[in-house]
Structure 1
Amino acid sequence: MDSLTLLVVDDNPENINLLSAVLRDDYKVKAATSGEKALKIADKTPQPSMILLDVMMPEMDGFEVCRRLKSNPRTRHIPVIFVTAKIAVEDETKGLQLGAVDYITKPINPTLVKMRVRTQLALFDQNQELKRQVSETTKELHDSRLSVIQTLGRAAEYKDNETGLHVIRMSHYSRLIAEQLSGDEYWTELLFHASPMHDIGKIGIVDAILRKPERLDGEEWEEMKRHSEYGADILANHTSELLVMAREIALAHHEKWDGSGYPNGLKAEAIPLSARIVAIADVFDALTSVRPYKRAWSVEDAVSFIEAHAGSHFDPSLVKLFLNCLPQVLEIKAQFSG
């Protein structure tokens, strides 16, 4: 059987050589001397089975590297072990909170490093097998949960959408985009299930504003924008991955790539990936649907709008993926018309 590949990340070549010497008898070892290089290597196929990551590096420290790894559906599953001279308890706590599986302090003990790497790889294999078994045995629960989520999402949509099919269409559009982006089927399905709750905060908006056939005035528009925060409040204080993602989507799906969105003016990759995907799916379906305040746009006009706003409203790389799957999008649109 081929050896597993480990990625060692440290700006000091001597530290890389030391860890490589400890591990190369049992594993293939790749190296990166910066966080940016590490992210590129981790995102390539084949991916490393584990990343050993220094904290104190210039330009991008290890904590930020870990955060980006865990926010990318293609790399979020890779186990990360911090190997660092930062020995304070708060540093170790921060590393584990960011999603690392272990924290080893320098100077390293070679035997200890080998044991911890072996243990964490074994635990990762066990967890993957457990996920597979759970997935096989919970399909009925999975389908029931999806029905409940879609119903919850439609409860908000019924206030300003006659059929409530918007949440079903846009969740399928979101999944089509995500499927091209990520090999992580679990994350893609999580997005599919979480996205119908993107506008749950509309429950807190009065009908006079939601159903107003004319343009909202300034005060009304400010109240309408608060649906993002209302939704985040409704979905707060839950630890399940589904509801955590649903909350980040509810809060951030009106943020814009150039920072001009709401409620927090987030910019570019500071906007959660899930929300960036949903933003495209949501706008396309809203534009091509009849609303109290507007007619339905043609598909051609809606696509032109999204293309024109790539890099300002929308993540330009995701717009390309949306355009790639447009034929499937239109199939979904036709299937769930109403």
Structure 2
Amino acid sequence: MDFELTSEQQLLQDSVRRYVDKAYSFDSRMALLGAGKNGSADNWGIFAAQGWLMAALPEEYAGLGGSLLETAIIAQQLGRALVLEPYVGCAVLAAQTLAACDNTVHKARWLPQLAEGACRIALAYSEPGSRGMPETVAVRAERSGEGFTLNGTKTLVMGADGAQAFIVSAHVTGTEGVSLLWVNADSAGLVRQSLPLHDGTWVQELRLEDVKVGADALLTAEGQGLAALRQGLAHGIVALCAGLVGGMEKTLEVTAEYLKVRQQFGVPIGSFQALQHRIADMAAETELARSMLHAALASVANDSPSNRDKTLSSAKMLIGRAAKWVCAHGIQLHGGIGMTEEYLVGHYYKHAVVADLLLGSSDSHEAACAAALQAELLD
């Protein structure tokens, strides 16, 4: 896979970078956090107007027909500013899951609205006992009349605040495998609870208590939803990892600049060899994470689903842990100021801690890699 950006991709990267540098300052982000908001409608409108929400959607559904590379470019730049708007949750994770489904009626109705920023949908697949892995599903869908009745709990639903609908994974009674069903946000029996995360963002827990949906809510054939779900998660994991790489880059830049201006014993502390070694290690870890991101992008484009999933688990594990390490060392090199809520470097560490747990933790993906390797050895 060629990672040399085309002129169009370079323009895309530059446009997102200019936006976050000029219009998404740390102070404006803190103001949104202080108000308890997951971003703003104005910012979401800008994302739509710039074409970022439609960049990787199919052209037949009002998208630009771009690839996962365009998504990664956008997510990496947004990650530099710790953007609060649910780009990964709504514009990537849910949108790409829906795009991979068979229900053309729902795709034709909702994907153009997603591309325009007129609506949001969220993917509800994670459960208290699933550790973020898609194949473990306890939510049940009972056949009732000409539709289904859903019962169970979904947790850590990204982008749920303000979503008009949810894609819910469930087991249809009497059917093997995972099914995906469309559930409107105003459905009777759907109880939504907002939960704050460590980095100031919010997710929701959904409790489905006899939620009734029609037969047309089925997005794939019964029991055949796991492939579409994994496709959406592949895009979501890459976008989340790209955002972490962007955050690592920004942490490295801010820390290097601080070492140049902070003085001790009459000289910049960046002249101390021990600190030079430390920031060199941070730079090396950031490059390793970027390389792993490139490997994930290449795997999604070229590998079989099984090999793709192994590579994505490796990427999620390595990049998640690397981001926590780099951002933690950024705090240490700043000293006391790095621990304060009013200074930006600590917020990158908080986000890295949260991102490491979303879409499957590092430990869960490490276990998945080990299980896949063991299965290969036994074949």
Q: TM-score under structure 1 normalisation?
A: 0.29
Q: TM-score under structure 2 normalisation?
A: 0.27
Rg larger for: 1
The structure in which a higher percent of residues are strand is: 2
